[in-house]
Amino acid sequence: MQVLSFVFALCLAVLRAHGQNQVVCDEIQTAAVIETNTVNAFLASAPANIIGSEVPAVIDACNEAKGLAAQLTTLEQKAIAAGCGNPVYDNLDFYLAAFGLQNYLMFCY
């Protein structure tokens, strides 16, 4: 009887943990959509001719891109730590936004 009680308690604990993680994963997924939209909007409006440029607008755009990249990295780490998978590989839109941002950053100082 004690074994059954232990198994039941263990199952209940696992279900509660899964439910809590699901809430966290849902929040991370929502944040990933928001960040994806933010990055895509940035890439659509950022200066295109940035190679070798030291124009203040380009410097500002590069700094903004670096900040966005840090946010994406933090979000990716949170998702992995919470057991939600990796949004970079599990979400094509997120992956493409991160890839586009990385390509943009290659030309920044």
The 10s digit of each residue's pLDDT in 28-82 is 889 989 999 999 999 999 888 777 667 888 889 999 999 999 999 998 898 888 8
Residue 4 has pLDDT above 90, yes or no: no
Q: What are phi and psi of 84, to 5 degrees?
A: -95, 0
- Apex 57 CA angle, 75 and 34, nearest 5: 25
- Rounded alpha-carbon distances, angstroms, from residue 49 to 45, 61, 95: 12, 11, 23
Place 90 in a pLDDT band, splitting at 50, 70 and 90.
confident
Angle between the N-to-C axes of helices 56-81 and 2-45, in degrees from 0 to 180, rounded to the nearest 10: 170
Residue 95 has pLDDT above 80, yes or no: yes
Domain ranges, ordered by start, for the chain: 27-105
